[in-house]
């Protein structure tokens, strides 16, 4: 029997379960109330973003208006223009700060996804001595914030000679326990029959991992990417990186933001620039997560 037939035979009973969808037991009035509630929640969620964008488009006199207005009377892009002029006066160019942030975010996210996925696959689908103990250690490590582990991390990074290098930000991102926990929990719900069918057809471990497991846990690793990008993009890195040419965009923008009343407009523009990439990543990834959740999620 070919690999395709093995997979189809393994998935057949689970597909039947997914097809049998329970009809929602709600009245029309309940649907209306639920719809109103969702609209209200959506407005509450989107309000901070709208307010931040509108503040960045306000001239300086409107920023100090009391009572404050949500929408700008005379919208202008002067705050963004002034921000880039100020950044241009720095002896380190804006593009250098941007490159530092993009490089650390991309490499850190890719490494975290790969390491967390491979480790989670082994823990979720293989039994070996210390399996449960190791996962308990990972779970406990999630209880400690960066403030608690700051000193040990700095000592370790200093001993390895990574202070004032990109690796001081990238390597710790590889070992973030949140992604590992997320991937492991999701992979446990993946039918073992799919993996067994692939192995019967002669697929090696790497092929099983890359072609069977990863496509079926797409919602998990897309969520992992969202969390990782948000964390690394907003990373200041000032604890480990001292050279100005290696500092992040967020660090440079926050220095402008701390410039006092005269830079209030630029500070509002900084808020939009800093948040725009994580928000866009979340929007595009969230769409794919919702689409994948409808067809994934097979259970043993």
Q: What confidence tens digit (pLDDT) does each residue in 42-65 have?
A: 888 888 888 888 888 888 777 777
In the predicted structure, residue 108 carries a pLDDT above the cut 50: yes
In the predicted structure, residue 71 carries a pLDDT above the cut 60: yes
What is the 3-state secondary structure of the chain? CCHHHHHHHHHHHHHHHHHCCCCCCCCHHHHHHHHHHHHHHHHHHHHHHHHHHHHHCCCHHHHCCCCCCCCCCCCCCHHHHHHHHHHHCCCCCHHHHHHHHHHHHHHHHHHHHHHHHHHHHHHHHCCCCCHHHHHHHHHHHCCCCHHHHHHHHHHHHHHCCCCCCCHHHHHHHHCCHHHHHHHHHHHCCCCHHHHHHHHHCCCCHHHHHHHHHHHHCHHHHHHHHHHHHHHHHCCCCCCCCCCHHHCCHHHHHHHHHCCCHHHHHHHHHHHHHHHHHHHHHHHHHHHHHHHHHHHCCCCC
Mean pLDDT throughout 161-189?
A: 86
* Percent of the chain with pLDDT strictly greater than 90: 4
| Residue 170: Cβ within 10 Å count | 22
Average pLDDT, the chain: 78
Gyration radius of the chain's alpha carbons: 24
Mean pLDDT throughout 216-240?
A: 83
In the predicted structure, residue 80 carries a pLDDT above the cut 80: yes
| Residue 8: Cβ within 10 Å count | 13
pTM: 0.73
Closest CA to 103 of 166, 186, 57, 196: 166
Which of 13-27, 157-171, 189-203, 212-226 is the least confident region? 13-27
Q: Which CATH architecture is the domain 3-26+76-295 placed in?
A: Orthogonal Bundle (1.10)
Range among 20-29, 85-94, 255-264, 265-274 with highest mean pLDDT value: 265-274
**Would you state the pLDDT for residue 224?**
85
**Domain range list for the chain:** 3-26+76-295
Mean pLDDT throughout 164-187?
A: 87
Banded pLDDT at 107 (limits 50, 70, 90): very high
**Contact in structure between 74 and 92 (CB atoms under 8 Å):** no
Q: What confidence tens digit (pLDDT) does each residue in 118-145 have?
A: 888 888 888 888 888 888 888 888 888 7
**Would you state the pLDDT for residue 146?**
75
Banded pLDDT at 298 (limits 50, 70, 90): very low
Banded pLDDT at 296 (limits 50, 70, 90): very low
In the predicted structure, residue 33 carries a pLDDT above the cut 80: yes
**Would you state the pLDDT for residue 46?**
86
Banded pLDDT at 260 (limits 50, 70, 90): low
**Would you state the pLDDT for residue 290?**
59
């Amino acid at each position: 029997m070919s690999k395709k037939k093995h997979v189809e035979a393994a998935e057949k009973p689970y597909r039947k379960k997914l097809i049998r969808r329970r009809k929602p037991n709600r009245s029309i009035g309940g649907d209306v109330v639920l719809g109103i509630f969702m609209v209200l929640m959506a407005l509450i969620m989107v309000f901070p973003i709208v307010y931040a964008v509108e503040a960045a488009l306000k001239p300086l006199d409107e920023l100090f208006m009391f009572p404050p207005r949500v929408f700008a009377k005379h919208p202008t892009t002067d705050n963004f223009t002034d921000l880039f002029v100020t950044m241009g006066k720095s002896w380190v160019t804006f593009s250098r700060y941007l490159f530092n942030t993009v490089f650390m975010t991309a490499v850190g996210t890719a490494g975290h996804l790969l390491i967390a996925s491979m480790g989670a696959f082994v823990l979720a689908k293989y039994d070996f001595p210390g399996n449960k103990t190791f996962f308990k250690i990972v779970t406990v490590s999630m209880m400690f914030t960066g403030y608690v582990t700051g000193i040990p991390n700095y000592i370790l990074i200093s001993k390895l000679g990574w202070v004032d290098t990109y690796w001081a930000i990238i390597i710790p991102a590889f070992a973030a326990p949140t992604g590992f926990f997320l991937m492991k929990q999701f992979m446990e719900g993946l039918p073992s029959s799919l993996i067994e069918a692939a192995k019967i057809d002669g697929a090696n471990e790497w092929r099983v991992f890359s072609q069977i497991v990863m496509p079926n846990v797409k919602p998990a690793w897309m969520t992992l990417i969202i969390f990782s990008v948000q964390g690394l993009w907003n990373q200041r890195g000032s604890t480990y990186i001292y050279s100005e040419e290696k500092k992040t965009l967020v660090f440079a923008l926050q220095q402008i933001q701390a410039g006092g009343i005269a830079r209030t407009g630029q500070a509002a523009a900084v808020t939009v620039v800093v948040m725009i990439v994580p928000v866009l990543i979340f929007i595009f990834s969230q769409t794919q997560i919702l689409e994948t959740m409808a067809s994934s999620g097979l259970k043993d």
